[in-house]
Amino acid sequence: MVTQTQIAKIAGVSRATVERVINNRGDVNDETRKRVLKIIEEMDYRPNRAGKTLAIKQRNLKIGCIIIQADNPFYEELNKGILEAADEFKAYGIDVIIETAVFTAKAQISKINELLEMGISGLLIQPTIEPGLADVLREVEARNIPIVTVNTDLLDYTSSLCYVGNDFYLCGKTAANLMQLLTGSACKTGIVTGFFNARSHADRISGFKDYIADYPGMEIVDIRENQDDEMESYYITRTMLEAHPEIDAIFLVAGGVKGACRAIRQQQEKTGRKIRTISFDDVPTTKELVRDGTILATICQQPVRQGRMALTILFDYLIDGKMPASSRMYTDIQIKLKTNIDA
Amino acid sequence: MVTQTQIAKIAGVSRATVERVINNRGDVNDETRKRVLKIIEEMDYRPNRAGKTLAIKQRNLKIGCIIIQADNPFYEELNKGILEAADEFKAYGIDVIIETAVFTAKAQISKINELLEMGISGLLIQPTIEPGLADVLREVEARNIPIVTVNTDLLDYTSSLCYVGNDFYLCGKTAANLMQLLTGSACKTGIVTGFFNARSHADRISGFKDYIADYPGMEIVDIRENQDDEMESYYITRTMLEAHPEIDAIFLVAGGVKGACRAIRQQQEKTGRKIRTISFDDVPTTKELVRDGTILATICQQPVRQGRMALTILFDYLIDGKMPASSRMYTDIQIKLKTNIDA
DNA sequence: CTGAAAGCGCTTACAG
DNA sequence: CTGAAAGCGCTTACAG
């Protein structure tokens, strides 16, 4: 590995000049620039990241992260990934400031302003879908502060740097594919979703619908909304199953898994008929239901990895100017059964 | 983040002394050691990794990697992970030497000796299961050179640092779980394995058997060996299906997927009866068979990730002295269907 | 337009 | 047993 000093020696200039050429900083005589560039090319110069990271400490970079305050175990996983990565980057001497906010636009905007005053150079956020946030994010970017959004997608805003999360539509298709295999392509499905107007939930449902369009034996009997609330979920699942005794498959699109499963189990016990159930994510309560067989399979989106990846992308961009491979980075779609739910 | 210099100032000693305490190097007066340790504790000192990595360059560390020379696309994936990580660590100024060897003990031992002469401080290897290698690896470790083994497990040798790979037994169980769900717990299975005496293949089969022990409707009709060879695989699958027309499920344990699937398709066309097939890994030919529906699901072990993880563990150990979380690091067991095989 | 010097946090001889 | 100095590869003012 060549260093800037070696290149400087060969080019007959100072290290400072080489540095200027490499980082496009200040003015350099056109001829020397070309000469230096040629040597860089020939010797396949690559900056030493340890040197760079160490030197950049002098700039006192701060990365701001806004994480969700919620006793929702899914968010806890996501936060865990962010916090782990934060720890790692702190070990490189980069300051990572973690702010917690409830999941409302108002709370998030207020935290963003706090972080701006602290002089952050980058922002990581899991944005709420409430209106009002998008404009603030655009303002932040206008100040030349790159943003990475994680897990949640906004309809009216796209980070110019990166979104890290799931491909919800493809998840929905995968759910349908799974259901098809579990039911021999024949089932009458009841769908329990979180919110009709949440994009991620809607996308999963359209993926599901598009897939089963090719399977005439697969039918959607009813779709109901539980507002990600366990009690509501129990109620709507129970009434749905009572209204449609022909339902033999349930697709749980979002939260409220435990409540829905209680209704499903009761119905199974009453009628003796198996209801094939699949869900999303693997929060502890869902895991337990997979272990005991109530849920046959659950589709997971690696929240810890999402958190890590989001912060890593921001870090790499700030240190190296490295752009992510894509402006939409998707984590794997993982199918978990009772045998690999704890792996 | 506190630095050694700050601690030195507070303790009223030089940075060198602080460094001695931190790294247990040389002799330090017991009293000053205690004082320094107390300050380190109180101020929650954590070494700056960039500084450390940069300074360590002076030691001229070399990491040796022995990768497999084979036109096997699975090994290519594994190698890709190793090469990617190697590139990353080279960017930190650590030398990573990649040696290619065919998959025999003789070739690998000869490469190990080459690397030893070059003065490596760490070794990454995907060991062959041929006898003779284990002793050599033990000798390397006796010289205080840490080893990480990747993907392949030896019966008579365990790296004292780490094995990175798959939990083959649990993979086998997951395969059985999947087969159970795909067949409504009723099937007559033909098993096509690679080698009866390869540990990974044998482990997958025992996982499978242990799982179906609880399902009386699931039966194993026959098990045959294809020596990971496509033609042989075609032959033994075809003759197996002809000998047992009742087979309605096939479990492909190892390589030779394409050959086996050809026989399976022919049998399906002849008899009009669906044979539910599952396999391992997602090499391009397998992917294609998942896409076209011949294989319903394939269980993958993230070879790229294995490669990356193995080298990262070695790097972290050499730079930080950091031990891996476990001496056996398993990658996820991923189930892929036609909808998420390309995700 | 260019260079010399200092500094980021750590390790490594070397001197005492 | 302890400290001063040099160095790892880079960036950042500062001087000219």
Tens digit of each residue's pLDDT (9 = 90 or more) over A239-283: 999 999 999 999 999 999 999 999 999 999 999 989 999 999 999
Amino acid at B248: D
**Residue located via tokens 């190793």:** B82
Taking 80 as the threshold, does the pLDDT of residue A71 lie above it? Answer: no
Q: Which pLDDT score is estimated for A269?
A: 95
- Using DSSP bridges, classify how beta strands B334-336 and B297-300 pair: parallel, antiparallel or unpaired: antiparallel
Express as a percent the part of chain B with pLDDT over 70.
Answer: 100
- Of A86-90, A92-96, A139-143, A189-193, highest mean pLDDT: A189-193
Calculate the alpha carbon distances from B211 to A148, A182, B110, B165, B219 in Å: 43, 18, 42, 22, 11
Distance to chain B for A54, nearest Cα, Å:
6
Question: Stated in angstroms, how far is B216 CA from D9 C1'?
Answer: 66
Sign of the alpha-carbon dihedral angle for A138, A141, A143, A145: positive
- The string of pLDDT tens digits covering residues B247-297 is 999 999 999 999 999 999 999 999 998 999 999 999 999 999 999 999 999
Can you read off the two tokens belonging to residue B17?
A: 């002394």
Mean pLDDT for the stretch of residues B20-48:
92
Residue tagged 């699109």 (tokens): A253
Average pLDDT over residues A81-90: 94
Give distance CA B317 / C1' D6 (Å). Answer: 27
Q: Tell me the pLDDT band of B343, cut-offs 50, 70 and 90.
A: confident
Nearest 5°: the CA angle B143, B146, B150 is: 135
Rg (CA), chain B: 25
Q: For residue range A7-42, list pLDDT tens digits in order.
A: 999 999 999 999 999 998 878 888 899 999 999 999
State whether residue B59 sits within 8 Å of chain A by CB: no
Q: Which pLDDT score, from 0 to 100, does residue B268 have?
A: 96
Taking every pair of Cα atoms in chain B, the longest distance, rounded to a whole number of angstroms, is 87
Helix (H) or strand (E) holding A277: strand A276-280
Q: How confident is the model at residue A70 (pLDDT cuts 50, 70, 90)?
A: confident
Q: What HEC string does A34-50 produce?
A: HHHHHHHHHCCCCCCHH
B54 interface with A at CB cutoff 8 Å: yes
| Interchain CB contact of B93 with A (< 8 Å) | yes
pLDDT of residue B145: 95
Q: Measured at the alpha carbon of residue B167, what is the angle toward residues A83 and B186, in degrees to the nearest 5?
A: 115
Dihedral sign (CA A208, A209, A212, A214): negative
The percent of residues in chain B predicted with pLDDT above 90, rounded, is 85
Give the pLDDT band (50/70/90) at residue B199.
Answer: confident
A54: the nucleotide nearest its CA (via C1') is C8
Whether CB of A73 is under 7 Å from strand D: the answer is no
pLDDT band at A158 (very low <50, low <70, confident <90, very high): confident
Distance from CA of A249 to the nearest CA of B (A): 14
H-run or E-run covering A335: strand A334-336
CB contact under 8 A, B330 and A339: no
> How far is Cα A291 from Cα A304, in angstroms, rounded to an integer?
21
**Of A133, A173, A120, A127, nearest to A148 (Cα)?**
A127
Two tokens at A30?
């056109």
HSE at residue A155, side-chain half, CA atoms within 13 A, is 10
Q: What percent of chain A has pLDDT over 70?
A: 100
For the ranges A210-219, B254-263, B319-328, which has the lowest average pLDDT?
A: B319-328
> Mean pLDDT over residues A324-328, rounded?
95
Tell me the two tokens of residue A341.
């739910």
B172 falls in which pLDDT band (50, 70, 90)? very high
Average per-residue pLDDT for chain A: 94
- Residue A160: what pLDDT? 84
- Of the pLDDT bands very low, low, confident and very high (cuts 50, 70, 90), residue A198 is confident
Per-residue model confidence (pLDDT) at position B128: 87
pLDDT at A221: 97
Cβ-contact A294, A237 below 8 angstroms: no
- Answer yes or no: do A91 and B297 touch at CB < 8 A: no
- Asked if residues A70 and A23 have their Cβ atoms less than 8 Å apart, the reply is no
Task: Place B198 in a pLDDT band, splitting at 50, 70 and 90.
Answer: confident
Q: Are B223 and B240 in contact (CB under 8 A)?
A: no
Q: What is the pLDDT of residue A67?
A: 94
- Cα-Cα-Cα-Cα dihedral sign, residues B98, B99, B102, B105: negative
